[in-house]
Amino acid sequence: MKAIDKSDFSEFVDNLIEDDDREVVGVQKKDSKFAFDPLYESDDLRLDYDTTILPPKKYFMPQRETLIEYNIEKGETTPVNRVVPRIILGVHPYDLVAIGQMDKVFEDTHEDPYYLEKRRQSVLVGVNMENVSDKSFASTMGTATIDSGYDLMLTDIGDRYAIEVGSSKGSSLLEQAGAAVDDAKPEEIRKVKQFKEDLPEKFRSDPEFDPFELPSLLKEYYDNDEFWEENSEDCLSCGTCNLVCPTCYCFDVKDVNDISLSEGERMRTWDGCMLEEFAEVAGDENFREEKAARYRHRYMRKGRYMYNRFGDIACVGCGRCSEQCLPDIADPVDIFNQMKEGTS
């Protein structure tokens, strides 16, 4: 384990920002919330945030991106992959777990060069959570602390940051800090260990389920129409719970022609299974016309379908969905607790 004085860390970040090779993004305060955004000075970086509005997935899978440019008159198509090499500062462990899950998805079957190239050209600097959002249940989901999935991982230990190195990318980045980095002292290593041991107390204590019983609980509840109808009654089908989720990756692909109709772009944009038109197909059919069916699908995907395919529970407990759902019906803890209680 390494360590660096906080003042030296700020200087290190300022040097990275000045270096034009890579964009540096980090968590910053935006009004009363926090967000990942390009960083122009180290003073704006907030490593003590509780949660961000959107997860860092937006850097690997932007809300809108061009996949192909085409010219119909000339019969030409040009693949486009706009990759910005990036250093992302201050990623919480649950978001790093989610990125690891997304990597598996985009590497599976047909590798997705748009996502994967952006991932390859990014450096992830994590930070252990000092403050925890009221809605987060990451400790229940086993994502409050991690041993891998980052290039560097910081822990605030007072006047210094302890730094765990997780990859060769991380160690090359750290070399740029030069002599400011030294080996962590034994008491600093102990502080990090203690910090991680104390962390679970900061999270919600109301989850009553074990994440690995979710696949069987969800299987049991699949045909319980009344349960899904009652819980989804107030759903606005706005899709917010999908869009803010670090493990949701669905997208739509559309051709957007320019006004001359001779040129255009094939775009991909975020999509979400809670939106009414998500499962609409040709012939005016919709496989999930009822909001209860969409609501059920979202939970099945989080706790069962992804587990069956990749062995992962696709909820990392960040709490963003419940924080941002207007009618307050998107809290996974509420649904999973109800299931657990109903089967005990």
State how far Cα 289 lies from the chain centre.
28
Cβ-based burial of 19 (10 A; exposed 0-12, middle 13-18, buried ≥19): exposed
Among 245, 300, 313, 339, binds ligand SF4 (CB under 6 A): 245
CA distance 187 to 6: 17
Options 122-130, 151-159, 165-173, 232-240: segment touching ligand SF4 (CB under 6 A) = 232-240
> b/e per residue, 200-233, with b = 16+ CB within 10 A?
eebbbeebebebeebbebbeebeeeeebbeebbe
- 329 touches ligand SF4 (CB under 6 A): yes
By beta-carbon proximity to ligand SF4, the closer residue of 90 and 317 is 317
- 138 touches ligand SF4 (CB under 6 A): no
CA distance 313 to 337: 16
By beta-carbon proximity to ligand SF4, the closer residue of 191 and 302 is 302
Among 302, 306, 312, 336, binds ligand SF4 (CB under 6 A): 302
Cβ-based burial of 196 (10 A; exposed 0-12, middle 13-18, buried ≥19): middle
By beta-carbon proximity to ligand SF4, the closer residue of 17 and 330 is 330
By beta-carbon proximity to ligand SF4, the closer residue of 170 and 317 is 317
- 315 touches ligand SF4 (CB under 6 A): yes
Options 67-75, 206-214, 234-242, 249-257: segment touching ligand SF4 (CB under 6 A) = 234-242
By beta-carbon proximity to ligand SF4, the closer residue of 170 and 319 is 319
The packing angle between helices 332-343 and 214-221, to 10°, is 80
- 211 touches ligand SF4 (CB under 6 A): no
Among 241, 273, 306, 313, binds ligand SF4 (CB under 6 A): 241
Among 51, 52, 139, 247, binds ligand SF4 (CB under 6 A): 247
- 170 touches ligand SF4 (CB under 6 A): no
Options 103-111, 178-186, 187-195, 319-327: segment touching ligand SF4 (CB under 6 A) = 319-327
Residues from 261 through 290 that contact ligand SF4 (CB under 6 A): 274
DSSP per position, 247-281: T---EEEEEEE-TTSSEEEEEEEE--TTSTTTTEE
Among 316, 335, 336, 339, binds ligand SF4 (CB under 6 A): 316
CA angle 122/125/126 to nearest 5° reads 130
By beta-carbon proximity to ligand SF4, the closer residue of 94 and 115 is 94
CA angle 121/122/126 to nearest 5° reads 160
Q: How many CB atoms lie within 10 A of CB 300?
A: 19
By beta-carbon proximity to ligand SF4, the closer residue of 129 and 157 is 129
Among 207, 288, 320, 335, binds ligand SF4 (CB under 6 A): 320
Q: Which residue has the tokens 């991982």?
A: 153
- 306 touches ligand SF4 (CB under 6 A): no
Q: What pairing do the DSSP bridges indicate for beta strands 64-71 and 263-270?
A: antiparallel
- 174 touches ligand SF4 (CB under 6 A): no
- 318 touches ligand SF4 (CB under 6 A): yes
Residues 137/333, Cβ–Cβ less than 8 Å: yes
CA distance 332 to 153: 28
Given the rule CB under 6 A, which residues bind ligand SF4? 235-241, 244-247, 274, 302, 315-321, 325-327, 329-330, 332
